Amino acid sequence: MTDPAEMPGPGAADHQARILIVDDEPHNRSLLEVMLTPEGFQFETANSGEGALACVARQPPDLILLDVMMPDMDGYEVAARLKGDSATNHIPIIMVTALGDREAILRGLNAGAEDFLSKPVDRAGLRVRVRNLLRLKAYSDYYSSFSQTLQKKVASRTTDLVERTRMLEQQAAVLTQHAALLDMAPNAIIVRDLEYRILFWNRGAELMYGWPRAEALGRVTYELLKTEFPEPIDSLSRALLLTGQWDGEVVHQTRDGRRLLVASRWGLQIGPEGTSSRVLTIHHDITEQSRADAEHRLLSQRLSLATAVAKVGVWEWDLASDGLTWDATMFEIYGLPPVVPMAYDKWTAMVVPEDLAHVEATLQSAIDRKGEGSAEFRIIRPDGDVRNITVAERAVLDDQGKVSRLIGVNMDVTERKDAEEALAQSRRNQLQFKDDFLSHVSHELRSPLTAIKQFTSILLGGLAGELNTAQREYQEIVLKNVDQLQSMIDDLLEVTRLETGKLTVEPERVSISDAITDTIDTLKGPARGKGVSLSWDVPSDLPAAYADRTRLRQILIILLDNAIKFTQDGGSARIRARQTDQDPPGLVVEVSDTGCGISPEIAENIFGRLYQVSDGTQSSRKGLGLGLFICKELVTRQGGEIWVSSQLEKGSTFSFTLPTFSLTSVIAPLLKNDKWPAESVALLTVDMKVPSSSSLDATREELSTEARSVVHRCLLPDLDVLLPAMDADTEGERFLIAAFADEKGAAGLADRLREQFKRLASLEERRVNISVSFSMLPPLPWKEGVSTELMVASMATHLEESVKHQEPREPIHHE
């Protein structure tokens, strides 16, 4: 008998056939194995349906011996599953059934089994069946695989061709479209293949790199553009293939050799076969931007360095949250550790309380005006150190144009302030020295001048023998010059007093017409000597001025003396006074002459210190040029202004203003925080009566001064005020005092005044009578809440009324 296994057949000799034996009984499996072993097969076994399927899936066998009766999954199901799967349906199955079970045989064949065996298995039958089936399968496998391969080859070739054509057409269309679009893009768009050869080069690339498309196509990008990559090109390529894209900054060179910093973005394009063959790259020139960025970085570095070095603290205040953001310097300035979270409240707590309102006001005004502001204030650091701070802030607007934040800086200016203070002190010291020096020199000059004047007078007085005409004339020249020197020294001392603040202005109620007539009287002589006529014009109803009597006279004398000095023989000088139209009305006094006039450029500087104009008669003699400077200072200190108008060869007019006297100007300083210092007011009257037998005017004036100083000594500042004399009196002096006090306080003040006057020996000696009396004023006639101005004005009226109703002055002979 020929062994069918030795028959030629496709594949049969190629390998040992693998047979899977499936049975839940180990004994049955071994039996089948033993029966077939001599045939030279390989065996696999499975003890269940699932095991069989798993085994087939692992490695499909050439044949399966399948027991029908198994728990869980019986043979029919295993057969049905294997035959239902195209991957396994070619594997022949021999069902092993119980003997004579027809139904089982039919079910097995229906389930797809190729053959069956009945138990107990006949050894020969088993071999034949297995061999036949194996042979069949080998042929089937052979043909099946052959035709399959053939079929596949044809089909795939066809599809491939069709698809390729279609894709190419599509791609061409899209590319054309894209190319047009890409040309419009401002960026350089380059398509290259994986070997960096340029496939596409848009208009943007032409413009950016200067290479025309025709010259760029086919070139290697990094050679054409001399690309400097941020990392080795290999690793870039790897990253691109791995992730499909890359972006970064590279340096490209243009055709004309310019280096561009370029932001590059690469994208891998996936081809139709799923392969990648081209890379789309977009390049954006960021050279300028990066320069700007670098500059910005540099600037901001410089700024923070500058703020740190200059100790400028930078802050930001968010209005909505009240949060403060501080830089390190801010914390340093405030002496706080830089970890403390800041808030507006914490800041205000460090500001010196009396400075807070001011600095907050400037912050608020910066917010209100949507603008800027600045202030200076002091802070108290945690270590108790007080520092001077300047702040400058600016409002920052949000989208709606509302102020959302303030940003600003703080600077510690304590050292600067100290230095400024030291500088100012040294300047003051220098000035003090200069003034002391001037004062000393001036006083010392007076002594020899005294001797010169003395002996000139003696000679002129004929005390050393009669002088002849020439001698007399020459001595008079000496005397005149001595007088000039004397007035220069006086001016010098006056200026020194002005600058050291030693010159005091004590304004009172002054009659302008008295001051003017007095001045004209004084200068009558010199005017007559020069042939200059003097006149004056004052309206009879001109109100009194609020001025310092002596200083007003001084101003008038300087101005009139100048007018005479600069006017030729036959000219005139005139003093006029009138009320101004201003509100409140002031007084203006004019001193005019018909002299040589002043050119405009001189007029501009004429009130400056040491400004000299040579006087007409003695062109070589200039004087110190201090007169008008003194005038200006004196006018200014009395709340007035001075100016000149002039026409060359026609004359000049010097004008100055003075405030009109009113009680309000005297009492206004007593009103503090809208409150008078006391509820009730007393009016004290001090009458001084000088006996008429004492005819010395000088003495009377001295007595007045003395009495005035006594009164001043007794007054309490901020509570009592000496009212100015309401009318001129030649008989004596009356002092009126408004005292903010109750009756007891007023009586106390009256007693003190009497006591002080008693101690004054000179009064007694001259038989001067002093009487002191007082009366309480009626209750103040206003209510709470009236304006400051109204309070002062009504108090003034109140006092004025009360003064008017004072008893008329009468000689008093007792005390």
Instruction: Using the minimum distance from each CB to other proteins, give the nearer residue, 454 or 773.
Output: 454
Which span (134-142, 456-464, 670-678, 714-722) binds other proteins, by CB under 8 A?
456-464
Determine which residue in the list 175, 336, 449, 780 makes contact with other proteins, applying CB under 8 A: 449
**Min CB(757)–other proteins separation in Å:** 13
Residue 465 lies near other proteins (rule: CB under 8 A): no
Which span (44-52, 136-144, 145-153, 457-465) binds other proteins, by CB under 8 A?
457-465
**Min CB(517)–other proteins separation in Å:** 22
66, 79, 105 from 76: Cα distances, Å: 9, 5, 10
Residue 455 lies near other proteins (rule: CB under 8 A): yes
Q: Are 411 and 310 in contact (CB under 8 A)?
A: yes
Q: Are 657 and 586 in contact (CB under 8 A)?
A: yes
Residue 668 lies near other proteins (rule: CB under 8 A): no
Tokens coding 22: 């499936």
Residue 702 lies near other proteins (rule: CB under 8 A): yes
Determine which residue in the list 386, 422, 458, 648 makes contact with other proteins, applying CB under 8 A: 458
Determine which residue in the list 339, 649, 761, 783 makes contact with other proteins, applying CB under 8 A: 761
Residue 696 lies near other proteins (rule: CB under 8 A): yes
Interface positions, 381-420, toward other proteins (CB under 8 A): none
Determine which residue in the list 86, 243, 447, 620 makes contact with other proteins, applying CB under 8 A: 447
C-alpha dihedral, 438 to 439 to 445 to 450, nearest 10° = 160
62, 164, 592 from 159: Cα distances, Å: 34, 8, 122
**Min CB(650)–other proteins separation in Å:** 37
Instruction: Using the minimum distance from each CB to other proteins, give the nearer residue, 214 or 463.
Output: 463
Compose the 628-667 pattern: x for residues touching other proteins by CB under 8 A, - for all others.
----------------------------------------
Tokens coding 381: 């650091």
Residue 340 lies near other proteins (rule: CB under 8 A): no
Coil/strand/helix, residue 80: helix
**Min CB(468)–other proteins separation in Å:** 18
Residue 464 lies near other proteins (rule: CB under 8 A): yes
**Min CB(760)–other proteins separation in Å:** 8
Residue 85 lies near other proteins (rule: CB under 8 A): no
Residue 453 lies near other proteins (rule: CB under 8 A): yes
Residue 486 lies near other proteins (rule: CB under 8 A): yes
Instruction: Give the Cα separation of 35 and 588 in Å (integer).
Output: 152
First CA to last CA across the chain, in angstroms?
181
Residue 605 lies near other proteins (rule: CB under 8 A): no
Interface positions, 292-331, toward other proteins (CB under 8 A): none
Determine which residue in the list 18, 90, 346, 497 makes contact with other proteins, applying CB under 8 A: 497
Determine which residue in the list 465, 672, 698, 730 makes contact with other proteins, applying CB under 8 A: 698
Which of 589, 531, 587 shows the shortest CA–CA distance to 559?
A: 589
**Min CB(555)–other proteins separation in Å:** 17
Instruction: Give the Cα separation of 83 and 121 in Å (integer).
Output: 24
Query: What secondary structure does DSSP assign to 198-210, as a single string?
Result: EEEE-HHHHHHH-
451, 461, 529 from 457: Cα distances, Å: 10, 6, 20
**Min CB(749)–other proteins separation in Å:** 22
95 Cβ partners below 8 Å, 6+ apart? 66, 68, 75, 79, 104, 105, 108, 109, 111, 113, 115, 116, 117
Residue 457 lies near other proteins (rule: CB under 8 A): yes
Instruction: Using the minimum distance from each CB to other proteins, give the nearer residue, 85 or 521.
Output: 521
721 Cβ partners below 8 Å, 6+ apart? 666, 667, 670, 715, 737, 738
Instruction: Using the minimum distance from each CB to other proteins, give the nearer residue, 539 or 691.
Output: 691
Q: What residue type is 357 in one-letter code?
A: A
Which of 497, 482, 498 shows the shortest CA–CA distance to 446?
A: 482
Determine which residue in the list 176, 762, 773, 788 makes contact with other proteins, applying CB under 8 A: 762
Which span (440-448, 534-542, 712-720, 775-783) binds other proteins, by CB under 8 A?
440-448
Residue 451 lies near other proteins (rule: CB under 8 A): yes
**Min CB(526)–other proteins separation in Å:** 15
Determine which residue in the list 144, 147, 709, 788 makes contact with other proteins, applying CB under 8 A: 709
Report H helices in 351-413: 353-368
User: Is the preceding omega at residue 232 within 30 degrees of 0, hence cis?
Assistant: no
Instruction: Give the Cα separation of 504 and 520 in Å (integer).
Output: 25
Q: What residue type is 560 in one-letter code?
A: L
Give Dmax over CA atoms of the chain in angstroms: 198
Instruction: Give the Cα separation of 627 and 490 in Å (integer).
Output: 10
C-alpha dihedral, 339 to 343 to 344 to 349, nearest 10° = -60
Residue 214 lies near other proteins (rule: CB under 8 A): no
**Min CB(414)–other proteins separation in Å:** 39
Q: Are 277 and 271 in contact (CB under 8 A)?
A: yes
Coil/strand/helix, residue 159: helix
**Residues touching other proteins, count (CB under 8 A):** 31
Which span (31-39, 144-152, 308-316, 697-705) binds other proteins, by CB under 8 A?
697-705
Contact residues for other proteins, defined by CB under 8 A: 443-444, 446-455, 457-458, 461-464, 482, 486, 493, 497, 502, 696, 698, 702, 705-706, 709, 761-762
